[in-house]
Amino acid sequence: MLDSCTQVLAGAECQVKTASNGAQGLKLVEELQPDLVFLDLKMPGLSGFEVLGKIRGQHPLMAVIVITGYATVSSAIEAMKKGAFDFLPKPFTPEELRLITQRGLEHSRLVQQTVALRREKEMLRENFAAIVSHELKAPLGAIQQNLYALTDELAGQLTDDQTQRFARLRVRLDDLLKLIHSWLRIISVDVNKLKETFKPISVADALVKAVETVQTHASRKAIEIVPSVVEPLPRVIGDEGSLTEVLVNLLGNALKYSFPNSKIGVRAEAQGAQVLVSVTDTGVGIAKADLPFLFQDFVRGQAQPEGVTGCGLGLAISRRIIEVHGGTITVESEPGRGSTFTIHLPAVPASPESNPTPERKV
């Protein structure tokens, strides 16, 4: 039996090793870590089921095909329930054996690939923060350090304008370092952890802060940001910092894809049990084909105006932050006309308890 099977299978594509009982078989499994195991259920000594259990325990991903001597469906099914990949009832033809071997090996290959890919993905995610923080932050840190040193060394020798420009350089670099830092936080840290510090917050506050953050950028492009808050605006449960980050992302995108001398609208309003915040621009717009992928990692639309840079993470991060808040983020866009991004957040029902500080600056 073993010999004939070996004859059928052995060749350029596979190497076959045989064992005449369960104990020997398990030893071979440990030594060879085979891609595929054929296991007779009826053997002297250790039973096929025991061997199967041990293999599954040690190597949960190893493909095992049981050979059922009795040709009873029940024992085959029991074996499958215990994790066998497939079964082969005796007697079988060489063709049947080849076919099932092929399938088994294919399965084993796919499982191994999946495991490798999953591990790679996990490693990439875990190490992303480490890699990016060193590779990106190190050169920026070195530049900033020298700006500090130069400012110190040149103190008293610079004109007011030069001193101002040095100060601006330091601020810009500092902003950049902070941005990298906050993105890293989102990528490497579990966004769900934000929930631990959730409290009722005012979306209007986040909106004001976000507009302040991008104001300089907007002025430089001569773009007017027009905020409007429709009162009364219920609070939402969340993290003000990260909601501000989302709005900064959306406003940043709007600025990036807007034409100079245009307007960007930011509107917060209540609608049913939700608070809606929308950012509307009259910029280049987004192609319909790009819309479904917009909130995925590292995706940027086709319509890229000259000089626009970015890694395509902003919207993916924003989506994650909004989802942690139990909300959604949607987009409507028309190429050449502009885009509107809308955040939908569950509102806190208006009651004195959940709205302890009713005064709100807008």
Residues contributing to the site for other proteins (CB under 8 A) = 129-130, 133-134, 137-139, 141-153, 177, 181, 184-185, 188
334 forms beta bridges with 338
CB of 154 to other proteins, least distance (A): 11
- SS3 category, 131: helix
Nearest of 345, 353, 291, 357 to residue 321 by alpha carbon: 345
Nearer to other proteins, 110 or 123 (CB): 123
- CA-based radius of gyration for the chain: 31
Nearer to other proteins, 180 or 303 (CB): 180
Nearer to other proteins, 124 or 230 (CB): 124
Question: Residue 341: phi, psi to the nearest 5?
Answer: -100, 135
Nearer to other proteins, 132 or 291 (CB): 132
Show the tokens assigned to 262.
């245009």
Contact call for residues 86 and 102 (beta carbons, < 8 A) = no
CB of 318 to other proteins, least distance (A): 21
Nearest of 226, 204, 225, 227 to residue 216 by alpha carbon: 225
Residue with token string 């050449």:
336
The CA distance from 181 to 178, in Å, is 5
Nearer to other proteins, 28 or 143 (CB): 143
CB of 215 to other proteins, least distance (A): 25
Length of the chain, in residues? 362
CB of 192 to other proteins, least distance (A): 18
CB of 134 to other proteins, least distance (A): 5
Nearer to other proteins, 117 or 130 (CB): 130
Residue type, 313: L
CB of 152 to other proteins, least distance (A): 5
